[in-house]
Structure 1
Amino acid sequence: MRIWGKVFGFIIGYMFGRGFGAVLGLWLGHLFDKRAGFADMMRKGQARQAQFFNTTFTVMGHVAKASGHVTDVDIRIASMLMDQMKLTGDARKDAQTAFRKGRDADFDLVETLREFRAMSQGRTEILQMFLEIQIQTALSDGELHSKEKQILSTVAKELGLGQAHLDALLNRWQAEFHHHQSGAGSAMQLDDAYSMLGKEESSSDQEIKRAYRKLMNEHHPDKLVAKGLPEEMMELAKAKAQDIQSAYETVKTSRGMR
């Protein structure tokens, strides 16, 4: 909490205007503190977004190298993700630079993740979104290699999410991948829909609704941007929210839910 604007405002106001001056100075000092606090908050928010952006692509490069070398497929996957984010100009160059950095032999995955977690300050939705993007990258070729899964386990551990959380996300987004492989415009399979919601056919309607609301809350694009998701990645959040909505509609229709 900033107070020095109010302190100096009060002192200076009192010196020149006694009681009235002190009150006026205190009010002006409050406005100064408020404005300075807002500017500080904006700087921190921009710093979090920049770190999310750079860390995403460095870890993505590290995941791509998990098999021992980066293939044309890995590079194409990274380029497709950049296209999905509509990255052009300097933003795309920054992403490519970060991707190459993650492929370096001396890249320190654990230290990078710890710095990212410290900057995210317990923003669980942001940490989860980061992990989901890495899962999406690993699954983009249709396979999850053992070394890729090992890296994802390290990511989940260092971000404080744990193996059980990772396994649930893997199950959910494998279903998402299967749905998108079916082709644009195709109906979502019921099994995939349940997996994306993290539920089973034996789940009650109320459990389905709660799962849907929780997932939509976690993937709300505006909320994620406010917590540190770069605006360039809002399209990814929107796409995930749309898939969750599609899964819910599929389950709801099959059950005749209102």
Structure 2
Amino acid sequence: MSWWGKVAGGAFGFMLGGPLGALLGAVLGHSLDKGMKGMEGAEELGPGDRERVQTAFFTTVFSVMGRIAKADGQVSKDEIALAETVMREMDLNVEMRNTAINLFNQGKADDFPLDEVLDQFRRECHRRNTLIQMFIEIQIQAAYADGRMDGAEEQSLLHICRRLGVPEFAFRRLEKMIRAERHYAGAGRGRAAPPPSKPTLNDAYAILNVNADATDAEVKKAYRRLMSQHHPDKLVAKGLPEEMMKMATQKTHEIRQAYEQVKSARGI
């Protein structure tokens, strides 16, 4: 049975416990609440339970996305469109989509326990840095839903990174990469923001996270590293929900496009 089947059936999701389990319980209703009773100690599940990590990732992605959308004081149509686009790319069924929407709305609430949610998510990831990086990338995309990142969104993202143990230089690198990827992804993947300009060679280097004066060997090494980090099967094995494979595939496509552009410019 898939991770979602176990969550929806009350056979797994309630075992998550903590603030993430409470979020799911509030969204999925009374049947889950009943399952949570008498489950003290359920959080002691050992590491490596992929379905548990998938549940934590799904819950955290959409609830924190709601918090990012509310960071500047109001949720714009573009930010709602971004959340809907992510749901569409995940090809969620009706029940999962409704859950994602409700998690997004919970993230907008004034009493949303952001730090507690992030602390538990970090524990659930068991130092899977590529999974945490993918989470940060999605949140940066949410911040750019309207075409720009304002100061409040930036401060919220920096706080999230600190809580997850992601240094600021890594955040800046990912932000630069996401801005460049927008040019390869067309008009913001269905967002209402104005279409970005066509990708430049500088965008290609930004996506590969190398300087223009990098050697051919360094460019190739960076490309291979990024393709490995974003490989859909590897990410799912680490706990990315299967429904997000399409997003990971899109990222590898953009990385490949950037690499081909650099190769063409260098004549290699």
TM-score relative to the length of structure 2: 0.77
Following superposition, the deviation at residue 41 of structure 1 comes to 7.9
Question: Which 4+ stretches in 1 moved above 6 angstroms?
Answer: 40-43
Cα-to-partner distance string for 1:141-165 (whole Å, 9 max, x where unaligned): 1100111111111111111111010
Query: What letter matches 1:138 in structure 2?
Result: A
Cα-to-partner distance string for 1:18-71 (whole Å, 9 max, x where unaligned): xxxxxxxxxxxxxxxxxxxxxx88992111101100100000000000111222
Aligned to 1:105, the other structure's residue is in SS state: coil
Alignment of 1:226-241 (within 5 A): 226-241=237-252
Partner Cα distance (1:125, 1:219) in 2: 8
Partner Cα distance (2:187, 2:58) in 1: 30
Partner Cα distance (1:68, 1:42) in 2: 38
1:133 is aligned, of 132, 138, 143, to 138
1:207 is aligned, of 218, 231, 244, to 218
1:189 is aligned, of 187, 193, 200, to 200
1:45 is aligned, of 38, 45, 50, to 50
Following superposition, the deviation at residue 187 of structure 1 comes to 6.7
1:251 and 2:259 matched: no
Q: Which residue does 1:145 correspond to in 2?
A: 150
Structure 1 portions without partners, runs of 5+: 1-39
Partner Cα distance (1:54, 1:226) in 2: 18
Partner Cα distance (1:187, 1:101) in 2: 36
Partner Cα distance (1:47, 1:227) in 2: 11
Q: Which residue does 1:159 correspond to in 2?
A: 164
Paired-residue identity, %: 42
Q: Which residue does 2:93 correspond to in 1?
A: 88
1:103 and 2:114 matched: no
Report if aligned partners of 1:179, 1:189 keep a CA contact under 8 Å in 2: no
Aligned to 1:67, the other structure's residue is in SS state: coil
Partner Cα distance (2:198, 2:218) in 1: 23
Following superposition, the deviation at residue 219 of structure 1 comes to 0.3
1:57 is aligned, of 58, 62, 65, to 62
Partner Cα distance (2:215, 2:183) in 1: 25
Larger relative contact order (CA 8 Å, sep ≥ 6): 2
Distance 1:183 1:124, change over 3 A: closer
Structure with more helix by fraction: 1
Q: Which residue does 2:75 correspond to in 1?
A: 70
Larger radius of gyration: 1
1:121 and 2:126 matched: yes
Number of paired residues?
217
Partner Cα distance (1:219, 1:180) in 2: 16
Partner Cα distance (1:207, 1:187) in 2: 25
Distance 1:237 1:41, change over 3 A: farther
Structure 2 portions without partners, runs of 5+: 1-44, 190-196
Pairwise CA RMSD = 2.0
Distance 1:160 1:169, change over 3 A: same
Query: What letter matches 2:116 in structure 1?
Result: E
Query: What letter matches 1:154 in structure 2?
Result: H
